[in-house]
Amino acid sequence: MPLYRDSRSDMLVTQFNMKFVESAGLIKFDFLGLKTLTVIEEACKYVRQAQPLFDIGKVSLDDKETYALLNRVETHGIFQLESTGMRDVVSKLQPDHFGELVALIALYRPGPMDDIPRFIACKHGQEAVNYLHPLLEPILKDTYGVMVYQEQVMQIAQELAGFTMGGADLLRRAMGKKIKSEMDSQRALFISGALKNGIQESVAQEIFTQMAKFASYGFPKAHAAPYALLLYQTAYLKAHYPVYFLTALMSLDYSNTDKLGETVLEVKRMGIPLEPPDINASDVSFTPIMKDGASVGIRYALSAIKGVGAASMEDVVAEREQGGAYESIDDFVRRHTTKVIHRRQLESLIAAGVFDGLHTNRAELTQSIEGMVKAAQSPVEKKESASQPSLFGVSTFLAKESRAYLIPTPEWPSIKKLQKEFEAVGFYLTDHPLQTMGPVLASRGYTLLSELDEGAAVRGVTPRKVAGIVTRIQKKISRNGAAYAFMQLSDPTGVLEVTLFSSTLDRVRDFLAEGAVVGVDLLIKREQDAARYIAQEIRLLEDLYVESQILEPLEIKDMKSWEILRAYIEPYQGKGGTTVRLSSYEFAGGPLRRQKRN
């Protein structure tokens, strides 16, 4: 057989395609690499720290809490159940035993998917279960009369038409290949066998037609069952050990910002405390926070911060474990070289709040990065400096005031801190700029992103009105030369990708930018297995944003300061959309007395 060696791999490849390979006598295997297996194993490692004998392979398949979680459609992170379409099916089916999970995996495919409404209706007694012939009942009873598995097709051929097991497998393969000559031959064999069993020809023809339609896309039960087992195991872990499960899930997705952001929202939705990254508490990966032997939260991973690199963070954690906690910014800088301490990494670590426990002013640290980098000398320079004796008997390097590199700088406003955090993490982690806008937006008819009706999208086109901060805009050109864009919108409850077609994009070019607070009139459309969100109208909501903010009062202690402030504000009076109220006071031989004017 002719072979080929790909320059990117050491593995030999056949020059024959899979069909010719089988004809030549080789057996074809499919090897599937599933991240889910690693997630399950990592979660189980945490569980076994408290329960050494825990074995996920031995848990009951009839656990009520697991099915309750599935029926609430809390399916984020659950194997095979995260898509909009599958969530809708789970919501309607309300599975209550393992066999239905197996059927769900097999049904949600082109072809068998057409029978999902009948399967659900029969399960809930809304439609009678019908069999074209009594011999079909023992074969199709568990699936409410619906052909779900390839094995059922083979059983039908054996029971109704007297096929051998080998003959039934040939029938299955012929149906899958859709070769007319083979199908005609197999139909004749099936009808002939069915007639010998006393089945009417018209009934046999109808049964064969149903089998052929199904078998073109049918799923083997032998494949669906292990998939359903992984589905069940992930649901079981989430229902009973949510902290461990979500920790493992985030650790595997640490470099995928979009997936990570979705899981962070799920963590918050479930009320699990998520502690921000900390130079003395965080590990390279996400870790469960333990208290008295119980998991009470999740600690954010250092490696999940953009631009820092997992290898460098391993060095940071290893040094902390060997030399003790970092006592100050100076201590951190002294204990590392420029292999770890370089500009890009420091910018990201500072913006993510990693050093807040050592130095609360992020703006000051950012302004002082150059000095911090210089202080992180090479190992040779540090060794030489540390070995120089001083008048007081300690090394010159340790005695000098390394805090001299810190440049006094006012701290950033909270909105800027959050924006910097967003850039470093990929989403709003500790808070959201629009957190205080909930009541204002609700009063104006805006829907939270987490409350968008995905089920409505499955049934057709649905209008909705949402608001958020624009976190990303990706502009593209279609084949016919028209401009369009994808816009990522963020509110305190979620993130949404919105499509802007050329007509909408043209209307908003002048004001649409990253960081803008906007309201969007959406149309939600079902496309294959997902909902698509299309912007019809977009408007700026800056005034609503300002209106919703709770501002700190400004204390003015003397008339001179008052006059300076008034002189600064008066030229802008009537030129903006924001109302600013100032209550003035004047000296009257004692305490300040309030004037009756604003």
CA 442 to CA 592: how far, in whole Å? Answer: 41
Distances (CA, A) of 461 to 110, 150, 465, 523: 22, 35, 14, 6
CA 420 to CA 428: how far, in whole Å? Answer: 9
Query: What are the two backbone dihedrals, phi and then psi, of residue 66, each rounded to the nearest 5 degrees?
Result: -65, -45
Judge whether residue 222 has pLDDT over 80: yes
Q: Which residue has the higher pLDDT, 541 or 234?
A: 234
Q: Which residue has the higher pLDDT, 110 or 17?
A: 17
Q: Over the stretch 420-444, which tens digit does the pLDDT of each residue have?
A: 999 999 999 999 988 878 888 888 8
**Position 377: which residue type?**
Q
Residue 461 pLDDT class (50, 70, 90 cuts): low
Q: What is the pTM of this model?
A: 0.81
Burial class (CB in 10 A: 0-12, 13-18, 19+), 145: buried
Read off the pLDDT of each residue in 216-228 and give the average, rounded to a whole number: 89
Domains delineated in the chain: 3-31 (no CATH), 35-224 (no CATH), 273-430 (no CATH), 435-547 (2.40.50.140), 553-594 (no CATH)
Question: Which residues does 403 contact at the CB level (< 8 Å), separation at least 6?
Answer: 329, 330
Judge whether residue 552 has pLDDT over 60: no
Tokens linked to 164: 């051998």
Burial class (CB in 10 A: 0-12, 13-18, 19+), 240: middle
Read off the pLDDT of each residue in 487-505 and give the average, rounded to a whole number: 92
495 and 517 Cβ atoms separated by less than 8 Å: no
Lowest-pLDDT choice from 199-208, 424-433, 470-479, 535-544: 535-544
Judge whether residue 52 has pLDDT over 60: yes
Instruction: Please report the pLDDT score of residue 587 as a whole number.
Output: 43
Calculate the average pLDDT of the chain: 86
**Position 185: which residue type?**
S
CA 177 to CA 184: how far, in whole Å? Answer: 13
Lowest-pLDDT choice from 5-9, 172-176, 282-286, 465-469: 172-176
Instruction: Please report the pLDDT score of residue 163 as a whole number.
Output: 94
Read off the pLDDT of each residue in 399-414 and give the average, rounded to a whole number: 74
Q: Over the stretch 7-48, which tens digit does the pLDDT of each residue have?
A: 888 888 899 988 899 889 998 888 888 999 999 999 999 999
Q: Over the stretch 296-347, which tens digit does the pLDDT of each residue have?
A: 999 999 999 999 989 999 999 999 999 999 999 999 998 998 877 889 999 9
Instruction: Please report the pLDDT score of residue 380 as a whole number.
Output: 47
Instruction: Please report the pLDDT score of residue 138 as a whole number.
Output: 95
Tokens linked to 4: 């080929």
Of all residues in the chain, the percent with pLDDT exceeding 70 is 86
Instruction: Please report the pLDDT score of residue 592 as a whole number.
Output: 41
**Position 376: which residue type?**
A
Query: What are the two backbone dihedrals, phi and then psi, of residue 79, each rounded to the nearest 5 degrees?
Result: -55, 125
Distances (CA, A) of 165 to 148, 171, 182, 473: 19, 10, 18, 57
- Give the residue from 491, 436, 441 showing the smallest Cα distance to 468: 491
470 and 487 Cβ atoms separated by less than 8 Å: yes
Q: Over the stretch 358-405, which tens digit does the pLDDT of each residue have?
A: 999 999 999 999 999 888 875 545 544 544 444 444 333 443 445 668
Judge whether residue 261 has pLDDT over 70: yes
Of all residues in the chain, the percent with pLDDT exceeding 90 is 59
Instruction: Please report the pLDDT score of residue 460 as a whole number.
Output: 57
Instruction: Please report the pLDDT score of residue 441 as a whole number.
Output: 84
